[in-house]
Structure 1
Amino acid sequence: MAHTARSRRTTAALAALSLGILATLTACNGDAENDAAASGTHASPSATPADKNTATPSSADPGDSGSGSGSGSGSGSGKTSASPSTPAPSKPASDDGQDGGVGMCETADLSYKVTVASRPVNHALLTASNKGSDPCLLSANELVITIPGLDGAAEHMGPDGKDWILEPGQNAYAGILFSRADTAGGKSADKMAVALTASEDPTTVPINGGPVTVNDGQVTSFFGTAEDALTY
């Protein structure tokens, strides 16, 4: 009987020891699982903000940059092409004599002034001005000058000019030789007749600084400056 009681106590002690060890292991395992769960809970929130902060701005930046660059470039290009250009005060005529419906200058369209030049000697300067409100196409080489006392029209001297559009208020110039120093005699004149073409009626223009002695008659083409007109 004593042996049986001792065996039961030993068995009970071993059972109690086993239960304690099992409880300890269970507690440790539970703490480990809790730690792992806590660690997993911690990692997930920290990863989510990092993803948002990194991915969202980097995907938006190229789109914003491309949009700004495109609109800026398009706006600048549009303003440049729309800017109106400033026309030149006079434009050369086209080769076929037509230029956008601009009509030929007629003798009556212009006003004229003839002035004796100080240099070269025995020359006068013809100034023709567009007195109208519209431009006209000036024929540079068909000018007809008739000096009283001389037969026929003055001959051409100097190079041929180029037809151009004479704007309202713009001037054209021609040089007139009325006397040669090596030619004796001549007739006095205080006016001359001017026509832009041989087919038109001339207009009479007084000679400022006259009268002059006339024994010859030559005229240049129309030029854009008085200096060019008085070179010949």
Structure 2
Amino acid sequence: MAYAARSLRTTAVFAAVSLGIMALAACEADSGEDTAAPSATASPSAAGPDEGSSTPSTAGPSDGGASDESSSGSGGGTASPSDAGSDDQDGGVGMCETTDLTYVVTVASKPVNHALLTAVNKGSDPCLLPANELVLTIAELDGAAGHMGPDGKDWILEAGQSAYAGILFSHADTPGGKSADKVEIALTAAESPTTVPVGHGPVTVNDMEVTSFFGSAEDALTY
């Protein structure tokens, strides 16, 4: 009986010891998990500065937003005003009318039977001169002068600027003709003519012709 009692006590002691060891192991396991947790949460905090520093450095150069916008803005700003200025200038100049100009017709020393027509813009503003529509008539003769020389191009006649046309009153190989000491001039057929005396006239007129307007007297008397 004494042996059996000792055996039970020994078993109880072993059981208690085993329970204590298991409890201690469980505590160590819990403490291990608790200490591991901070290291797991520390890794995102370490990664945070890396992400924060790499994001601005990558976005800034690749976007280049400020420099692109400023360069495109300056290009558009300098281009559009220049285009707009030329359009406004052309659109603001009206056609020259017959009454906008003063006229002088003078017989030329050469070529023979020629006269020079000088037209001056007497206004304070420029106007667009119709180069090829000049109408020249003599009151005592039927019909208007024919055209000679090349066609010109309409051009802006500034205030006070002169334009020139050459007049051929008669061909040397054409007999006859009528004497005249004045001509009638209109810039277009739709306008009423103005009468201009012929300086150093009178002249004999037959098969009269006139050039387009030119910028120099020499060009006008070439034909």
- Shorter-chain TM-score: what band? 0.5 to 0.7
- Structure 1 stretches of 4+ with a deviation exceeding 3 A read none
Distance 1:100 1:149 in 2: 40
Alignment pair present for 1:185 and 2:166: no
Indicate yes or no: 2:142 matched with 1:151: yes
Counterpart residue identity of residue 208, structure 1:
G
TM-score normalised to the size of structure 2?
A: 0.60
**Alignment of structure 1 residues 46-57 onto 2, 5 Å:** none
Give me the TM-score of the superposition, normalised by structure 1: 0.57
Aligned to 2:103: 112
Residues 21-32 of structure 1: matches in 2 within 5 Å? none
Give me the CA root mean square deviation: 1.8
Q: How much does 1:215 deviate?
A: 1.4
Give the residue type in structure 2 aligned to 1:196: L
2:92 aligned to 93, 101, 106, which one? 101
The counterpart of 2:203, out of the listed 188, 191, 212, is 212
Residues 175-197 of structure 1: per-residue CA shift (max 9 Å, x gap):
00111111111111000000000
**Count, aligned residues:** 138
Structure with more of its chain in helix, by fraction: 2
Q: How far, CA to CA, are the matches of 1:214 and 1:165 in structure 2?
A: 32
**Letter paired with 2:193:** P
1:227 partner SS: helix
State how 1:40-79 maps to structure 2 within 5 Å: none
Give the Cα separation in 2 of the matches to 1:103 and 1:216: 33
- Give 1:122-201 correspondences, 5 Å limit: 122-201=113-192
The secondary structure found in structure 1 opposite 2:99 is helix
CA distance in structure 1 between the partners assigned to 2:210 and 2:139 by the alignment: 15
Q: What does the per-residue CA deviation read over 1:29-71, in whole Å, with 9 as the maximum and x for residues that have no partner? A: xxxxxxxxxxxxxxxxxxxxxxxxxxxxxxxxxxxxxxxxxxx
> What amino acid is aligned across from residue 177 of structure 1 in structure 2?
L
Please report how far the alpha carbon of residue 149 of structure 1 lies from its aligned counterpart in structure 2 after TM superposition.
3.4
Matched to 1:110, the amino acid is L
Structure 2 Cα separation of the partners of residues 215 and 149 of structure 1: 12
3-state DSSP of counterpart to 2:90:
coil
Contact 2:146 2:207 in 1 (8 A): no
3-state SS of paired residue (2:219): helix
Kindly, what percent of the aligned residue pairs are identical?
80
